[in-house]
Amino acid sequence: MYLYFQTTSMTKLKNKKVLITGGGSGIGLLMAEYALEKGADEVILWDISEENLANALRSLSGKGKASGQVVDVSNVKSVKDQAQSLIEEHSAPDILINNAGIVVGKAFIEHSHEDIERTMSINTNALMHVTKAFLPPMKDKGGHIVNIASAAGFVSNPDMSVYAASKWAVVGWSESLRLELERDFKNMHVTTVAPYYIDTGMFAGVTTNLFLPMLNPDKVAKKIIRGIERNRVFVKMPLMVRLTPFLKGILPVRWFDFIAGKIFGVHKTMSTFKGRTKS
């Protein structure tokens, strides 16, 4: 039997190499900006969109060293090849932020098999494959792995069944990974991020209210960077998301359903969902 405790040391971004998947836009790009402001030696952006990458690198020009690669994180071979190339030519990242994700907002019966495969591949499997590719060299020098999950990883929601499944899986895997690395490697850290809807366009059209408003992307990015610096186990936002596991633990299921669905309106949020507009 063993006992271990989370270290109180800080993760410094200064002079560190930071890799962010889905870094071509949204909070991925914002986190890149703040990492450079904190003195990161380099930020490396992975994104499936060549256009997004080009725009992102232009916006980061003059703020610090930034580079990008077009990578489809749902393609395991692409992930392995790009990771190996990066490790051989430079080195593994000190901080890995698994940020890429998609959402299909509709009833499960309306999902295609392709919807299911792609959602799970990008939102869940990709995080494991990317981390697996970089973990061997990261563990030798110490590092920090950040996994972007969601409030949907704690609360079931109509018209988000597959998305919720992908994020519940991320929470379970990320927590298990944290426990393993805390046990086996002193200088490895894992942070799991669980935000409510973020106003980046990905969840355009969702219905929110004063109790659970849409989150500001800039504030979310800052909180994640601060969570990395402080080696937070979880970064949850807003307050109601932080309280959710406690409420689910003490309330009967039907009571929790009533509070989440009727009082806070969570169960109706996706009824007006439109999603990101494609150009």
Q: Which residues are catalytic?
A: 163
If DSSP codes are grouped into helix, strand and coil, which group holds residue 97?
A: strand
Task: Supply 94's token pair.
Answer: 């000190």
Residue 27: count of CB within 10 angstroms of its CB: 28
8 A C-beta contact, residue 105 and residue 273: yes
Q: How far is it, in rounded angstroms, from Cα 277 to Cα 171?
A: 28
Q: Which of 134, 144, 15, 122 is nearest to 82 (CA)?
A: 134
User: Where do the DSSP E strands lie in 40-153?
Assistant: 42-47, 66-70, 95-98, 143-148
Q: What are phi and psi of 70, to 5 degrees?
A: -80, 115
CA–CA separation, 151 and 45 (whole Å): 25
Nearest Cα to 68, choosing from 83, 53, 89, 82? 53
Question: Is the distance from CB of 165 to CB of 149 less than 8 angstroms?
Answer: no
Tell me the C-alpha distance between 45 and 135, whole Å. Answer: 18
- Closest residue by Cα to residue 71 from 96, 45, 97: 45
Place of tokens 């109509």: 158
Cα distance between the two ends of the chain = 56
